[in-house]
Structure 1
Amino acid sequence: MITGNIEGVRNRILEELEAIFEIKTAKYAFLDTAIVDIMLKITKELDREISVLVDRKGKVLEVTVGDSSAVSMPLVELRDNKLSRVRVVHTHPNGNPKLSALDISALIKMKLDSIIAIGASDHPQVVMGFLTVENQKIHVEATTPMELDDAYRFNVLDRITYNEGLLQEAEDLEEDEERAVLVGLDSEDSLVELRELAKAADVPVGDVVFQKRATQDNATYVGKGKVQEIGEALQLSRSNMVIVDDELSGSQIRNLEDELGVKVIDRTTLILEIFARRARSREAKLQVELAQLKYRMSRLIGLGTVMSRTGGGIGTRGPGEQKLEIDRRKIRDRVNDLKNELKKVVAIRSVQRESRDQNGIPRVSLVGYTNSGKSTLRNALAEMASKDAIVKNKVLEKDMLFATLDTTTRAIALRDSRVVTVTDTVGFIRKLPHDLVEAFKSTLEEVVYSDLLIHVIDGSVDDCYSQAVTVDQVLEEIGAGEGMRIIAINKVDKGKSYMTEELTKLYGDKYPIIEISAKMGTNLKALIELLSDTLPDDLVTLELLIPYDMQKLAAQIHDKGNVISEEYGEEGTLIQAKLPKKEVHLYEKFRRGGEK
């Protein structure tokens, strides 16, 4: 029985493919010549991949029809530290015999004896891939393209037997880790940041390839010569993945994977992967999944191994773990479900925000480029001026891009006893995926509704000016470009970049600027004083005498106001407190003295 994509295939062709089951291959040969002839003939006729599964005795176990760019791999039994005792031989309709990223991924994941590709062209060539062991890790070795006659003479059984011996002798065998070659057109500074993003995703960088080019190549992102250079970099650095510093189309990804034979992901996929790993709260997980699905929905046609069910590692976390066959309708249904769930979260957040509005508590949000030190500053402020006796739930501090995603809000007390809330928000970055901004709008609403923003800038890096401009652009995009702001130039303990002078020119006439070190505590008291001076004071100081039989009112004052002093007299409790102007009328008959 022929499996795979056989819809619309004529019975005559299916009968020709069925004949393959009757042909036995010699044990040492990769495949019988008669089978290869049938596969090539039908590949050209259908423009689809044909795959044959063969055991070590030369018996054909399965024949599968794919589409123009991929074939559904068979499911085989996995055996610890042993090969599966079957090999997959398949055609490539584009004529390129090089193993694709999907081929290599299938070889590793299913521990095939071998995966063999035949380029369906006027002069067919063959590439064979085998698993071997190097430094206690599984490693893929592939032959150079061979003519058919040479391939027929190649003793695959000897190679398979030898490699299986290596696998059985090895202990605690690990798959080769992902190692990437970074590729970019924008600037070398942008590639430095891409390296940090790769680090955040736990991907070692083997090499970096930069091409100064005004526009992307529509087919392969870089020029033809650079594709060859990337291939050489992959080989020399023993890397098995390419990360591109821009957003790619599905066809660009597929073309690059066909040319290079490794998995290719773009900057957006990498950022989404990091977000998927960092998301902890239910809201953040919903937001990340929504962004992933919206991004992938427009790339279902032509997308390469990123969507493959046999792929692994970067680009397959979250919704990518579902079936490859998921269609647009199912994605749209899931997107609608996620949007509805997020609406409920937004409603809850709105109620919380209204509650703070009623209490008259000013809102302060920390914004800035990722890894500028917002979480460290938030923790330091909470420790220094927390309204609570115990500081709860410290935010993760780590020298890494997007270390924290979940928005957290804590109350701190200013020098005049006013209480304000400080919210730590997700960091921004260049080329922040639009779908991600859209998905995180419910979180970023906290920024929009804030009374004051503290823009935290890493003043120790020479890129601080462009990072600050990027943050300004995102703030404009979400509708938070206007309003009060404090510029906090952070990490001065590491030394200041010469570009901080440009920041002074950019912001000096518009916003107050302060230099701090959140890590060392430098100037944090001055920052809190600046907060007090900048935020409008909507509180009135009252002296109140509360009778002892109305102590519920005293408790209300403690809850809604800032108590400066409290004494117990003969007639009742004498309280001096700051209270919101709109609530002064509630305490008129208990007042002692006038407003202050």
Structure 2
Amino acid sequence: MLDGNLTGLKPSQIKALERIDRRRIPATQVVTAELARFLTELSFDLRRQVGILVDRQGEILHVIVGDDREILLPNLARFGLGRSGLRGLRCIHTHLKGESLTQDDLTDLALLRLDFMVAIAVGERGLPGRVHYAHLLPSNPEGKSVEVLSLPSVHEFDLDFLRFIASLESEMERKMAETFDLSDTREKAILISAGGEPRPELEDSLNELAELARTADVVVLDRVVQRTQKIHPRFLMGEGKMREVIIRALQQGATLLIFDQDLSPGQVRSISEMTDMKVIDRTQLILDIFARRAHTLDGKVQVEVAQLKYLMPRLLGKGTAMSRLMGGIGGRGPGETKLEIDRRRIRERLTRLEKQLEELARGRRQRRQRRIRAEVPIVSIVGYTNAGKSTLLNALTQSAVFTEDLLFATLDTATRRLRFPEEREVIITDTVGFIRKLPKSLLGAFKATLEELEDADLLLHVVDISAERFEEQIAAVERILQDLELAGIPRLLVFNKIDRLPPGEVGALCRRFDAIPVSALERATFTALLEELQRRFWPRDADPADLKPDPSL
């Protein structure tokens, strides 16, 4: 296949280029002297770099014509990576000025995971001169990723290519096996965060992203934090830095790049053009978790609505520019038709789902009205994700709502009854956990579930007191309650997981924040919470003597 800069070439020159891919290289050789001479003479005649891509059987798959400084390699996505991380292709090209391998050559070698990158100098009268070549290295303590070598002549290239590559791949696989289990089929990711926030805040957000990845059953291999005052419009952190990150990810065997910041459709496209790895952002990761965790019809519909709303602008990325030309040149044809069909189908599906959500919401409103008419107090548990809300609900009501040490373990609203003496009871509702940087589109999609909070007489704000930055989590939940216009509902702060802290420290924190301490795993710690609920809903019957703080705290 002939690619590249063919402008201005004579028919005879194009025919000469087309004849190259009829040749074969013995599988044990990197390049033959005859083929090297043919390439340099042709390059000398064209005054342009000429290159070839060769597979391990010695078949020439691509012939590439560049300019006098470089060649541009085609998209190689159809050639997959092997277990060692190499693609099974080598690039052999000419250098008109006899220079060594350029930084672009070495970047292409690392980014595209080529077996070899070879540059043959074009000498006098087009004869082949010095040969420069490079290959990737297994991970090593020195951090050296590429070895660059040189030979005075192509005739001295006596390397047994197949034996060398087999040995290199074996060592690469061995090094990878030392890092992680190669039989583990889970996605392996590099987490990336870039922004102008202070580094501790970026680190905290990245820690949370790591927990989200663990929840999504993704193996995190590495993290990259880049402080930058200006977000790059195409690559988030600058093209050069982005290339470094991708090379580092490929060296470690990553299959996925997860960005802590939301990526625009253009940024996803630009980064994806650099690498075969999947590229997603925080929102897409959360949506994937939601899709796994939703079990009820309500939850599933809400997740699909959120996913379709996320997908819409990414379909519009190409369609918007084309729609400006509707009726003119470039506005006709199957490309635009396909986009319009996809967009129309998504809109129609969204319309049906939103009607279904409204019907489900109507049923919930009727159930809530019945509870209100029965004058049963309603308590809604809110809080940061993985704060222990469902565990607390189970312990209080002796029920079995699903719990797990993962973010967003609960997506579907659960309602239970908490019984008090004298035939009194309270309805307690568990809700989806909140999180920092929760996109508004997701809040909108889960508004139907969060409507349960509107009728609550009390919001039980559960906090994981053992979390390193629990104050920021409290603030994040308060901000979301403000956004949902629920800040006017009375709230009771409950510090959970007190068994993980010294008693004296728990007491000081509870006094400082006016909170009630509990451990959802120890029912004996619920006394103060139950007394406070009784005091709030039936104040006449509350015994002031029972409300004194526990002196042991």
TM-score (ref. length: structure 1) = 0.60
From 517, 520, 524, the equivalent of 2:519 is 517
| Aligned-residue offset at 1:351 | 1.7
From 302, 307, 318, the equivalent of 1:287 is 302
| Aligned-residue offset at 1:27 | 7.2
Matching of residue 183 in structure 1 with residue 189 in structure 2: no
From 379, 400, 405, the equivalent of 2:406 is 400
From 511, 516, 528, the equivalent of 2:530 is 528
Structure 1 CA distance for aligned equivalents of residues 232 and 117 of structure 2: 27
Matches within 5 A, 1:69-468: 103=77, 142-143=114-115, 145-147=117-119, 177-184=186-193, 185=195, 186=197, 187=201, 188-224=203-239, 226-259=241-274, 261-300=276-315, 327-383=342-398, 391=399, 394-468=400-474
Structure 2 CA distance for aligned equivalents of residues 253 and 361 of structure 1: 50
Q: Secondary structure at the match of 2:235?
A: coil
| Aligned-residue offset at 1:145 | 4.6
Structure 2 portions without partners, runs of 5+: 1-13, 40-52, 97-101, 122-130, 134-153, 171-180, 319-337, 542-553
TM-score (ref. length: structure 2) = 0.64
- Which AA in structure 1 matches 2:403? E
**In the alignment, which residue of structure 1 is the partner of 2:492?**
486
The alignment yields a C-alpha RMSD, in angstroms, of 5.2
Q: Secondary structure at the match of 1:422?
A: strand
CA deviation vs aligned residue, 1:258-277 (integer Å, no higher than 9, x gap): 34553221111111111111
Tell me the percent identity. Answer: 36
**In the alignment, which residue of structure 2 is the partner of 1:566?**
none
| Aligned-residue offset at 1:375 | 0.7
Structure 2 CA distance for aligned equivalents of residues 370 and 518 of structure 1: 15
CA deviation vs aligned residue, 1:360-384 (integer Å, no higher than 9, x gap): 222111100000000100000012x
Aligned residues of 2:56 and 2:88 also touching (Cα < 8 A): no
Structure 2 CA distance for aligned equivalents of residues 373 and 89 of structure 1: 60
Q: Secondary structure at the match of 1:438?
A: helix
**In the alignment, which residue of structure 1 is the partner of 2:146?**
none
Q: Secondary structure at the match of 1:299?
A: helix
CA deviation vs aligned residue, 1:175-224 (integer Å, no higher than 9, x gap): 86422221213421111111111111111221111122344222211144
Structure 2 CA distance for aligned equivalents of residues 225 and 161 of structure 1: 29
- Which AA in structure 2 matches 1:400? L
Structure 1 portions without partners, runs of 5+: 1-15, 37-51, 61-87, 131-139, 167-171, 304-322, 384-390, 540-596
Structure 2 CA distance for aligned equivalents of residues 54 and 147 of structure 1: 17
Tell me which protein shows more helix as a share of its residues. Answer: 2
- Which AA in structure 2 matches 1:517? S
Check 1:407–1:220 CA distance in 2 against 1; reply closer, same or farther (3 A cut): same
CA deviation vs aligned residue, 1:456-493 (integer Å, no higher than 9, x gap): 00111221100011001111111211112111000000
| Aligned-residue offset at 1:148 | 8.9
Q: Secondary structure at the match of 1:283?
A: helix
Deviates more, 1:227-236 or 1:519-528: 227-236
CA deviation vs aligned residue, 1:14-43 (integer Å, no higher than 9, x gap): xx99x989985647699999xx9xxxxxxx
Structure 2 CA distance for aligned equivalents of residues 91 and 272 of structure 1: 44
Q: Secondary structure at the match of 1:334?
A: helix
Structure 2 CA distance for aligned equivalents of residues 503 and 232 of structure 1: 48
- Which AA in structure 2 matches 1:290? V
Check 1:324–1:192 CA distance in 2 against 1; reply closer, same or farther (3 A cut): farther
Q: Secondary structure at the match of 2:213?
A: helix
Deviates more, 1:212-221 or 1:418-427: 212-221
Aligned residues of 2:64 and 2:73 also touching (Cα < 8 A): no
| Aligned-residue offset at 1:236 | 4.9
CA deviation vs aligned residue, 1:497-524 (integer Å, no higher than 9, x gap): 979967755x54xxxx201101122421
Q: Secondary structure at the match of 1:300?
A: helix
Aligned residues of 1:475 and 1:481 also touching (Cα < 8 A): yes
